Amino acid sequence: MRLPTLLLPLWLAAIASAAPAGRPNILFIFSDDHARHAIGAYGSKVNQTPHLDRLAREGTRFEHCFVTNSICTPSRAVVLTGKYSHANGVPVFNVFDGAQPHVARTLQAAGYHTGMIGKWHLGSMPTGFDRWIILPGQGLYHNPDFLTPHGRLTLPGHVSPLTTRLGIEFLETRPKDRPFFLMLHHKAPHRAWEPDAANKARFRDRVIPEPETLWDDYATRPAALPENRQTVAHDLTRRDLKLEPPADLAPGPARQQWLNVKPTEVEVTLADGSRKTLTGKELVRWKYQRYMQDYLACVQDVDDSIGEVLDYLDRTGLARDTIVIYSADNGWYLGDLGMYDKRFMYEPGFHIPLLVRGPGVKAGAVTTRFALNADFAPTFLELAGLPVPTEMHGRSLAPILRGAEPTDWRTSVYYRYYHDPGHHNTRAHYGVRTATHKLIHYWKKDAWELFDLTRDPNEQRNLAGDPAHAGRLADLRAEITRLQRQLGDTGQFANEIPRDGVDAPVNVPRLGEKDVRGAIALSLP
C-alpha cells in the first residue's frame, strides 16, 4: 500500500500510539565495495564465504540486484530515501539533508528503536536514529575514531570486529519492549584494503585466479574506458601494494609522495631468497595478486563478523523475530575489464549482493527478479507494516521474499553516474539494462555502447554501430527516455557539481580511547 507523503505524519502519529504487535526486527548489514562475485553463494572463483553462504542458504538470494549510481555516498542516500540521486540531493559527494523524509525517521516515528553503527559517509550527522556511532568520513581500519552524539573517541583494534561488537552491544542494551531497526555498516573491504592480522596471514601466499578480461584492451569501447584511471596495470600505488618505503625516508610529505607513486617496476624477493625486478605483464600479474590478497582478506573480515552476528541471533533467540539483510553500497571490479573500483555501469560494478533471511522469508530461494538499492527503504517499511510513500522510486521486495511471483514486476533498470571526470577519470553516463541487453550513453561525448548480455556477458563487443542491431538500439533509447520521464530525471544535469561533503563534521570534542561498552553508551543522544 502507498500513501501520499502529506498524509504520512498523521498516519505515523496514529500508529506510534497503537503500533501493531508482532512487527519483526530488521537488521541491515551493509559493506563497502563488496563485489558479489567475491561471495561463495554467487559462484565466487576467488574465495569462500561460509557465513554469507549460510545466510543465502537459510534465506533468499537475489541474483540480479543493482545500484542506481555506483558510488558510495549516493548509494547510501538512495538506500535511506528509496529515491534516485536526482531526487534525494546526493548525485556525487553532496551533504545528505537529514531533514528530508527517509526510512529511519519513518521507522523511528512508528515506534522502532533505531540504530546506525559504522560507516555513514553522508557528510552530515545521522537523523532518525535513537542511537548512533559512526566513522568520520571513510574511517580507519586500525584503531579507528568514531563520532557519537557526545564527541569523538578512539577504539583500539580492527574496524571490522569493532563494528560487529558495537552492533551486538546495541542489541544487548536495546529496549526489549520495542522492535529494532539497526543499520550495521562495515568499512571493509574499501580501499586501502587493510585486513586484520589473522586474515592477512591467511591470504598472504594465496594464488588468486585471474579473470578472463584482466587484459582487456577496450578495442570496441573507445569512448571512456581507455581514459579510466582505475586499472590494475597502471593505477595501483605503492601504498595500495603495501610496498615499504626506504628506511631513511622519514614520515612526512616526502614519504607520502613516495607511497602515492604508481610503480612501473617493483623489486621482489623470490622463494630462493634472490631478488628480481618485475616489469611489464609480469608486474601486472604480481600487482593483481597483491591487490586481491588484501581485498579478499578484508572480505573475510566481514564474513567472520557476519558469522558472529548470526550466531548471536541464534543463541539469544532473536533470530525467530529478526529479518537479516546483507548488501553492499556498490559493486566492484576484481580485475574484471582490467580494473578495480566501481563507477562504470558494466556488470561487476553495477551488480550488488542481496541476501535476506528471517521470519516469513522463503528459505533456499533464488530469484532472478530485478531488484534495486532504491527498493530497500520500501521493503523495510512494508516489513514493518507501514505504507510506502508514493514518491519513492523503489518498490517493496517483501512479496518476493515471501515467495510470490508478481506479474507486473520491472523488466528494465535505469542507471546514472554523474561525477565527470571525478576520481579515476570516469566519464558521466546513464543507461538501461534488460534481461538480455544493456545500453550505455556517455552523454558528454555523445557516445553509445550496446551489449548483448546473453552472447557477450563480459561486455567485450559494442554493437551500437552495427546496422544489424539498429532496431534494438532504438528500442533501448526509447526505454531510457520512458524511464527518465517515469522517474522525473528530465533536467539538464544540474546536480553534477558536488558540495564536497565527504566527511562528517569534525568539530566535536575528543573523548579519548574507550572500550566498546563505553562507546555504545555514548551512542545515545
CB atoms inside a 10 Å sphere around CB 420? 18
For 471-521, the pLDDT digits (tens) are: 999 999 999 999 999 999 986 554 444 444 445 455 678 887 788 888 988
Q: Are residues 60 and 40 in the same domain?
A: yes
Whether 6 is in a domain gets the answer: no
Return the residue matching grid coordinates 578484508.
298
**Residues 180-205: what's their mean pLDDT?**
97
Q: Are residues 318 and 462 in the same domain?
A: no
Facing residues of 357 across strands?
324
Transcribe 392-460 into DSSP letters: -SS---HHHHTT---TT--SEEEEEE--SSTGGGPPPEEEEEESSEEEEEETTTTEEEEEETTT-TT--
DSSP-derived letter for residue 132 is E
Same domain (yes/no): 279, 338 = no
Bridge partners of residue 451, in order along the sequence: 438
Are residues 222 and 98 part of one domain?
Answer: no
**What ranges make up the beta strands (E) of 120-193?**
131-135, 145-148, 151-154, 180-185
At residue 491, the pLDDT reads: 66
Distant-in-sequence, close-in-space partners of 17: CB < 8 Å, separation ≥ 6: none
Secondary element (H or E) of residue 31: strand 25-31
Q: What is the pLDDT of residue 109?
A: 98
**Confidence at residue 21, expressed as pLDDT on a 0 to 100 scale:** 58
Q: Greatest CA separation found in the chain?
A: 75
Residue 285 binned pLDDT confidence (cut-offs 50, 70, 90): very high
Residue 206 lies in a domain: no
For the segment 6-15, what is each residue's pLDDT rounded down to a tens digit? Answer: 554 554 554 4
Residue-range definition of the domain harbouring residue 449: 423-487
Q: Per-residue pLDDT tens for 107-138? A: 999 999 999 999 999 999 999 999 999 999 99
- Band the pLDDT of 20: cuts 50, 70, 90: low
With 70 as the cut, is the pLDDT of residue 2 above it? no
> What mean pLDDT do residues 31-47 have?
98
Kindly state whether residue 11 falls inside one of the protein's structural domains.
Answer: no
Q: Indicate whether 343 belongs to any domain.
A: yes
What is the DSSP secondary structure assignment for residue 359, as one 8-state letter?
Answer: T
Q: Which residues of 363-389 are buried (b: 16+ CB within 10 A; e: fewer)?
A: eebebebbbbbbbbbbbbbbbbebbbb
**pLDDT for 507:** 66
CB-based contact 109:17 (threshold 8 Å): no
The reply to whether 317 and 248 lie within a common domain is: no
Claim to verify: residue 114 and residue 169 sit in the same structural domain: yes
Q: What is the pLDDT of residues 442-457, one digit of tens each?
A: 999 999 999 999 999 9
- Which stretch of 25-39, 320-334, 399-413, 482-496 has the lowest confidence by average pLDDT? 482-496
CATH number, domain with residue 308: 3.40.720.10
What's the domain count of the chain?
3
> Over pLDDT 70: what percentage of the chain?
93
Shared domain for 127 and 246, answered yes or no, is no
- 417: in domain: no
Mean pLDDT across 149-172: 97
Q: Which residue has the higher pLDDT, 4 or 1?
A: 4
511 and 384 fall within a common domain: yes
Task: Let me know if residue 249 belongs to a domain.
Answer: yes
Q: What is the pLDDT of residue 513?
A: 78
Looking at 286, 319, 346, the residue that finishes a domain is: 286
Question: What confidence score (pLDDT) does residue 129 get?
Answer: 98
Q: What percent of the chain has pLDDT over 90?
A: 87
pLDDT tens-place string over residues 85-99: 999 999 999 999 999
| Whether residue 182 is found in the same domain as residue 309 | yes
Q: What is the mean pLDDT of the chain?
A: 93
Q: Is there a single domain that holds both residue 452 and residue 510? A: no
Q: Answer whether residue 7 is part of any domain.
A: no
What grid cell was written down for 100?
528530508
Q: What would the mean pLDDT of 18-39 be, rounded to a whole number? A: 88
**Considering only 17-26, 290-299, 468-477, which range has the smallest mean pLDDT?**
17-26
Q: Is residue 392 situated within a structural domain?
A: yes
- Position 379 pLDDT exceeds 80: yes
User: Is residue 66 domain-shared with residue 118, that is, in the same domain?
Assistant: yes
Q: What pLDDT digit, counting tens, does each position of 199-247 carry?
A: 999 999 999 999 999 999 999 999 999 999 999 999 999 999 999 999 9
Residue ending a domain, among 262, 286, 310, is: 286
pLDDT of residue 374: 98
Same domain, yes or no: 42 and 141: yes
Question: Residue 453 sits in a domain of what CATH number?
Answer: 3.30.1120.10
| Boundary of a domain, candidates 257, 286, 315 | 286
- C-alpha closest to that of 285 among 225, 336, 340, 210: 210
